[in-house]
Amino acid sequence: MTIIVTGGAGFIGSNFIFHMQKKYPDYRIICLDKLTYAGNLSTLKSVMDNTNFRFVKADICDIETVCRLFEEERPDIVVNFAAESHVDRSIKDPDVFLKTNIMGTASLMDACRKYGITRYHQVSTDEVYGDLPLDRPDLFFTEKTPIRTSSPYSASKASADLLVIAYNRTYGLPVTISRCSNNYGPYHFPEKLIPLMIANALNDKPLPVYGNGENIRDWLYVDDHCKAIDLIIHNGKVGEVYNIGGHNEMKNIDIVKLICKELNKPESLITYVADRKGHDMRYAIDPTKIHNELGWLPETKFSDGIKKTIKWYLENREWWEEIISGEYRNYYEKMYGAKV
Ligand code: NAD
Ligand code: TYD
C-alpha cells in the first residue's frame, strides 16, 4: 500500500504520518508538502530515515510536479491535509487560501484521475457548516447540515468539498470527505488558540482573548482525528461525508483559564482584545454516523489531552521557540501588536 499524505509537515498531517507508520509499518508513505510558514521539516525528523518514508517538497497546485510524483510512486491512496488553515490569516489575505485550498485540491484530484487511485480523501472542517447560536445547545452539525460559510478560510474549504463531490459524481473518482472539529495536541502551530496561550503564558505575555471569550469550540485530541481518518480510508463508503467530533464543547475563556491554572500563571495575563471579524459563535459536531458505520469513538478525554499537550509544549520548547522567534514574530506584531 502506498499513500501520499499532503501537508504532512503541518500539525494534523504529521500526527497522521506518525499514527500510520506505527500501525502499518509496511505501508509506503510519501509526504508532499510545500513547507509554508506552517510546515516544519523538523517535525518529521523521527520518520525521515525510515526506508518506507519519503519527503517531497512541492506545491499541490504544481500539477506537473504532482503528476511526476504519481508517475514514480503510483499511490493507492491520497490523503489531502495540505491547506492554508488559519482563519485570521484568511481575513487579512484570502488569495492564497483560494489558490491552495481550492485550486490545489483540483490539481491533486486531476492527478488522481490521470493515474487512477483507490481512494482520494479530503480532510475538511466543521467550519463549512458556519456556526450555531449559543442559546440553542440542542443543535449540532450533522452531515446533512447545509453549507453556510463565514470566513474566506471556511469558504475555500467548502468550495474544495463541492469540487470533491463533483469529481466523484462526474468522473467517478473514489472520494471520501471528513469534517472535523477543532484539534489540539503536539506540533500545533502557535498561532492557534491553545498553543498560542500555552506559549504566551510560559513567557508571561498577555493572553489575547477575542471579544468576550464566550465563543464555543468542540475540541478533539489530534490522535482521535487521525484514527478516524485511518478508519475512513480503509472502511468508509466512497462518496460519503463523515463528521468527526467528540462532544467536547468549551468556551474559549474557560480554556484560557484552564491553561493559566495548569501552568500556575495568573489570570491577570488575560487581555480581552477586539473581536475577529465574522467570528463564529459555536461549533458542535454530531458524530453519530462515523460511530454507527465505522465504530469510531474519541479515546482521549479533554482533561487528559490538555495535560498531555501542555506537557509536550513544556518538553519541546525548542520546537515552538524557534517558530516564535523567526518569521512568525512579524505576523504576531502585525496581528496583535496594537492590541496587547
Ligand atoms: P497546518 O497549517 O498546521 O498545516 C498545513 C500544512 O500544509 C503545512 O505543512 C504546509 O506547509 C502545507 N501546505 C500549505 N500549502 C501547501 C501547498 N500549496 N502545497 C503543499 N503543501 C502545502 O494545518 P493543520 O491544522 O494540520 O490542518 C490540516 C488540514 O486539516 C487542513 O486541511 C485543515 O483545513 C483541516 N482541519 C484542521 C483542523 C484544526 O483544528 N487544525 C480541524 C479540522 C480540519
Ligand atoms: P483558532 O485556534 O484560530 O481556531 P478556529 O478559528 O479555526 O476555531 O481559534 C479558536 C477560538 O479561539 C476562536 O473562537 C478564536 C479564538 N482566539 C482567541 O480568542 N484569541 C487568539 O489569539 C486566537 C488565535 C483565537
Phi, psi of 158 (to 5 degrees): -65, -40
Per-residue model confidence as pLDDT tens for the chain (340 residues): 999 999 999 999 999 999 999 999 999 999 999 999 999 999 999 999 999 999 999 999 999 999 999 999 999 999 999 999 999 999 999 999 999 999 999 999 999 999 999 999 999 999 999 999 999 999 999 999 999 999 999 999 999 999 999 999 999 999 999 999 999 999 999 999 999 999 999 999 999 999 999 999 999 999 999 999 999 999 999 999 999 998 999 999 999 999 999 999 999 999 999 999 999 999 999 999 999 999 999 999 999 999 999 999 999 999 999 888 877 777 788 888 866 6
Three-state secondary-structure class, residue 87:
helix
Give the atom of ligand 1 at the shortest distance from the alpha carbon of 189.
Answer: 3
Q: What are 25-47's pLDDT values in tens digits?
A: 999 999 999 999 999 999 999 99
Three-state secondary-structure class, residue 167:
helix
Ligand nearest to the CA of 184: 1
Ligand nearest to the CA of 222: 1
Burial class (CB in 10 A: 0-12, 13-18, 19+), 71: exposed
58 beta partners: none
Q: Give, in order, the Cα–Cα distances in Å from 232 to each of 205, 216, 221, 226, 235.
A: 41, 27, 17, 10, 5
Cβ atoms of 225 and 12 within 8 Å: the answer is yes
Q: Where are the alpha helices (DSSP H) in the chain?
A: 11-23, 63-73, 87-92, 95-97, 105-115, 152-171, 193-202, 222-235, 252-262, 288-294, 302-315, 317-325, 328-336
Can you read off the three cell numbers belonging to residue 62?
A: 504544481
The Å distance, Cα 261 to ligand 2 centre, comes to 19
- Where does ligand 2 bind, in terms of residues with CB under 6 Å? 87, 182, 192-193, 196, 208-210, 215, 217, 252, 276
Question: What residues contact 289, with CB distance under 8 A and at least 6 apart?
Answer: 142, 143, 242, 243
**How far is 28 from 48, CA to CA, in rounded Å?**
12
Q: Give, in order, the Cα–Cα distances in Å from 184 to each of 146, 218, 223, 316.
A: 26, 10, 9, 15
**How far is 23 from 18, CA to CA, in rounded Å?**
9
Ligand nearest to the CA of 181: 1
Per-residue pLDDT, 340:
65
The Å distance, Cα 173 to ligand 1 centre, comes to 23
Per-residue pLDDT, 333:
83
Cβ atoms of 121 and 178 within 8 Å: the answer is yes
Per-residue pLDDT, 98:
98
Can you read off the three cell numbers belonging to residue 186?
A: 503536539
The Å distance, Cα 161 to ligand 1 centre, comes to 15
Give the atom of ligand 1 at the shortest distance from the alpha carbon of 192.
Answer: 41
Domain boundaries, the chain: 2-184+219-247+279-300
CATH 3.40.50.150 fits 2-184+219-247+279-300, yes or no: no
Per-residue pLDDT, 330:
79
Per-residue pLDDT, 328:
76
Instruction: Please say whether the dihedral angle defined by the alpha carbons of residues 74, 75, 80 and 82, taken in this order, is positive or negative.
Output: negative
Cβ atoms of 211 and 276 within 8 Å: the answer is yes
Three-state secondary-structure class, residue 210:
strand
**How far is 162 from 179, CA to CA, in rounded Å?**
13
Instruction: Return the amino acid letter for 317.
Output: R
- Catalytic residues, by residue number, are 126-127, 153
In short, whether 185's Cβ falls inside 6 Å of ligand 1 is no
CB burial of 244-261 (b: ≥16 within 10 Å; e: otherwise) equals bbbebbbbbbebbbbbbe
CA angle, 98 as apex, 92 and 103 as ends, to 5°? 160
Per-residue pLDDT, 152:
98
DSSP state of 308: H
